[in-house]
């Protein structure tokens, strides 16, 4: 193994850059007639096809934290971590069938606009400010930092800051063209991501087969993985007993067995895919059938993601257990993916760097566009310049893009936020997970229960946050290590801990109780409630076929690896 790049690696990467930048520019030139149309800039209104919507959603979702974090969890946990991706496929079906019709019928373009339309301006403003801070100081910074660290590791190190600047500039080139440029270049990005990711998985499985003398093909390698790491091929992590080692307990704290599927996973995925400006923005400018098909296409692609980001981690585990990969001594899971990439031959290493760059740049571009959209449409236009024309809005959006990226660079330059120390995946989950129960409760009740009030929404967000912090940080010490709500376990650091997904489930449950109780004190039908009708949720035969195909594949996977 070596980390030195050769001319063929550089050629592959440069070719990738030229294709993406050139295609993005051609898309931009075609829409110059709408240069100062804010809806075109922020939403690509009506111009994204279903395949562009689906590809863009996946390209924006898959980033360095998946390649590094999920591959690392594949090394540590095994196939169980794929639940995050495969439950997401079901969540996307729910969003396509029930959430998107509500947004489109009510002409919702941003998530704060949804809150203003359904509740009031106070709720919308609070959440707009919160989302801006979350997107800039948690998501944008972590994507930029983790991406730079991952690529720096592949090219030999000592180029972290140069890579950060390069990623930021590349993302800016795409973002400044607007959502249409982002959406269509994401088709190329997700293609590179999938091709490069599958090539890495193919090579990893082939290497495993060769090392164990069972054949030089991926199928033999996959069988070798199952033979030498059978505990890594179960979706359900067994519940620890008093005799369980700390390693088994740590795995359960991340994925608490069957309880994983009761609430936490659904809250994580439905909140992310259905109540998140960063993701839903791609579909909000389309007609209902186009948006639905695009979201379902994204769900179908989600079935493939564990093969790309999880299997290399399991391969690294088996090779490590067999005495290979000395850089993983001590079981450093976050280095699993880069360790596998060290086996790549010349040229293919350039493709893997292009795939990783595609994942990072598309996520950066999507995130910074969402920041720009929320600030310009939900804060600047409403509170600073109500008379702003289309040209002024687009200019403000572009300035916001620059400012957000510069702030992210400042905070990642010396890792001021401690992303590296906490671990990128943990960093993101920690700060977004605390707010997810309250936000999801506010959205789900606002959509489908006409009695929900604005006061209940505000109290719900606060309650969800407080309860999340309580269950995660204080509950074992205050309520004991075990009761009818939960069982806490020693975390190996001298403390007891409740599995994070169980904490999220209970925080969501009690938040819903509080919001319902407050709303029952109000009118039977809130004056701002949405008018829903059955026709909104009626599905075409082609849509039903795609949903059925996704669910059948998922059931087959779970039947095999339960």
Residue 43 lies in a domain: no
Residue 102's SS3 state is helix
Measured torsion, CA atoms of residues 171, 174, 176, 180, in degrees rounded to the nearest 10: -140
For residue 482, the 8-state DSSP code is B
Specify whether 466 is located in the same domain as 536: no
Q: Is residue 169 part of a domain?
A: yes
In terms of Cα–Cα distance, which of 360, 310, 426, 302 is closest to 154? Answer: 360
In tens, the pLDDT along 382-410 reads 888 888 888 888 888 889 989 999 998 99
- What is the residue-averaged pLDDT of the chain? 84
In a domain, 44, yes or no: no
The tokens of 375 are what?
């600030």
Q: Is the pLDDT of residue 69 over 80?
A: no
Answer yes or no: do 332 and 447 share one domain.
no
Same domain, 521 and 390: no
CA–CA distance, 57 with 284 (Å, rounded to integer): 12
527 and 538, same domain (yes or no): no
Structure tokens that stand for 534 in this block? 């059955």
C-alpha–C-alpha distance, residues 112 and 122, integer Å: 10
The pLDDT tens digits for 239-293 are 988 888 988 888 888 888 888 888 788 998 999 899 987 777 778 878 899 999 9
Q: Tell me which residue range forms the domain holding 240.
A: 7-22+49-416+425-433+532-561
- Dihedral (CA of 511, 514, 516, 518) sign: negative
Distance CA 528, CA 265 (A): 30
Residue 2 in this model has a pLDDT that exceeds 80: no
Give the DSSP letter of residue 487: B
Residue 133 sits in a domain whose CATH number is 1.20.1730.10
pLDDT tens digits along 475-528: 999 999 999 999 999 988 888 999 988 999 999 999 999 999 999 999 999 999
Domain match, 330 and 401 both: yes
Q: Are residues 379 and 454 in the same domain?
A: no
Distance between CA atoms of 183 and 332, rounded to whole angstroms? 36
Rounded CA separation 402/415 (Å): 20
Cβ pair 87, 261 in contact under 8 A:
yes
Residues 212 and 223 in one domain: yes
pLDDT, residue 512, reads 97
Q: Are residues 166 and 138 in the same domain?
A: yes
The distance between the two most distant Cα atoms of the chain, rounded to a whole number of Å, is: 72
User: Is 95 inside a domain boundary?
Assistant: yes
- 136 and 270 in a single domain? The answer is yes
User: Does 343 lie in the same domain as 463?
Assistant: no
Number of folded domains that form the chain:
2
75 φ, ψ to 5°? Answer: -60, -45
Higher pLDDT, 3 or 348: 348
Residue 29 belongs to some domain of the structure? no
pTM of the model as a whole: 0.86
Q: Taking the mean position of all CA atoms in its chain, how far away is CA 297? A: 16
Say what the pLDDT of residue 517 is: 97
Q: How far apart are the first and last CA of the chain?
A: 36
Percent of the chain with pLDDT over 90: 32
In a domain, 317, yes or no: yes
- 407 and 311, same structural domain? yes
Give the pLDDT confidence of 211-244 residue by residue, as tens digits: 888 888 889 999 999 999 998 999 898 898 888 8
Structure tokens given for 149 = 């660290």
Q: Are residues 119 and 155 in the same domain?
A: yes
How many other CB atoms sit within 10 Å of the CB of residue 496?
16
- Rounded distance, CA 465 to CA 504, Å? 10
Task: Please write the tens of the pLDDT for every residue from 311-340.
Answer: 998 998 899 888 887 777 765 676 788 778
Confirm whether 34 is domain-assigned. Answer: no
Q: Is residue 39 part of a domain?
A: no
């Amino acid at each position: 193994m070596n980390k030195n790049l050769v001319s063929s690696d550089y050629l592959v990467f440069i070719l990738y850059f030229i294709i993406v930048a050139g295609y993005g520019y051609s898309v931009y030139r075609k829409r110059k007639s709408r240069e100062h149309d804010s809806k075109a800039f922020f939403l690509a209104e009506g111009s994204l096809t279903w395949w562009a919507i689906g590809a863009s959603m996946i390209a924006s979702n898959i980033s360095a934290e998946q390649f590094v974090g999920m591959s690392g969890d594949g090394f540590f946990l095994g196939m169980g971590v794929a639940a995050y991706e495969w439950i997401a496929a079901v969540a996307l079906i729910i969003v396509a069938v029930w959430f998107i019709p509500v947004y489109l019928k009510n002409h919702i373009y941003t998530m704060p606009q949804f809150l203003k339309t359904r509740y009031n301006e106070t709720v919308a403003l609070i959440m707009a400010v919160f989302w801006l801070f979350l997107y800039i100081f948690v998501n944008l910074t972590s994507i930029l930092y983790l991406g730079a660290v991952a690529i720096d590791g592949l090219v030999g190190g000592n180029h972290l800051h140069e890579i950060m600047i390069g990623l930021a500039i590349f993302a800016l080139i795409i973002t400044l063209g607007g959502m249409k440029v982002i959406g269509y270049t994401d088709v190329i990005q997700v293609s590179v991501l999938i091709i490069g990711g599958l090539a890495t998985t193919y090579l990893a499985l082939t290497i495993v087969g060769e090392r164990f003398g069972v054949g030089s093909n991926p199928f033999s390698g996959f069988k070798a993985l199952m033979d030498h790491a059978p505990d890594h091929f179960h979706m359900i992590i067994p519940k620890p007993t008093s005799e369980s080692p700390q390693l088994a307990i740590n795995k359960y704290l991340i994925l608490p067995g069957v309880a994983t599927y009761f609430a936490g996973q659904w809250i994580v995925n439905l909140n992310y895919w259905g109540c998140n400006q960063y993701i839903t923005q791609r579909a909000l400018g389309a007609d209902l059938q186009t948006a639905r098909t695009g979201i379902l296409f994204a769900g179908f692609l989600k079935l493939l993601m564990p093969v790309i980001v999880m299997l290399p981690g399991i391969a690294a585990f088996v090779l490590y257990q067999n005495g290979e990969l000395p850089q993983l001594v001590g079981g450093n899971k976050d280095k699993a993916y880069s360790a596998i990439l060290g086996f790549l031959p010349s040229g293919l290493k350039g493709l893997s760097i292009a795939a990783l760059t595609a994942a990072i740049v598309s996520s950066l571009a999507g995130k910074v566009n969402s920041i720009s959209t929320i600030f310009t449409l939900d804060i600047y236009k409403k509170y600073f310049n109500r008379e702003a024309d289309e040209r002024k809005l687009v200019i403000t959006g572009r300035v916001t893009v620059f400012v957000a990226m510069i702030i992210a660079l400042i905070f990642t330059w010396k890792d001021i936020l401690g992303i590296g120390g906490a671990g990128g995946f943990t960093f993101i989950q920690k700060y977004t997970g605390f707010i997810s129960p309250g936000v999801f409760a506010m959205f789900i009740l606002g959509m489908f229960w006409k009695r929900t009030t604005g006061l209940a929404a505000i109290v719900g967000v606060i309650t969800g946050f407080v309860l999340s912090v309580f269950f995660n940080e204080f509950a074992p010490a205050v309520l004991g290590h075990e009761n009818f709500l939960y069982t806490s376990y020693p975390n190996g650091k001298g403390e007891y801990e409740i599995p994070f997904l169980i904490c999220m489930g209970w925080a969501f449950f009690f938040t819903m109780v509080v919001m319902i109780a407050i709303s029952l004190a109000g009118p039977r039908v809130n004056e701002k409630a949405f008018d829903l009708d059955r026709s909104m949720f009626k599905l075409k035969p082609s849509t039903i076929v795609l949903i059925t195909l996704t669910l059948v594949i998922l059931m087959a996977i779970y039947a095999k690896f339960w």
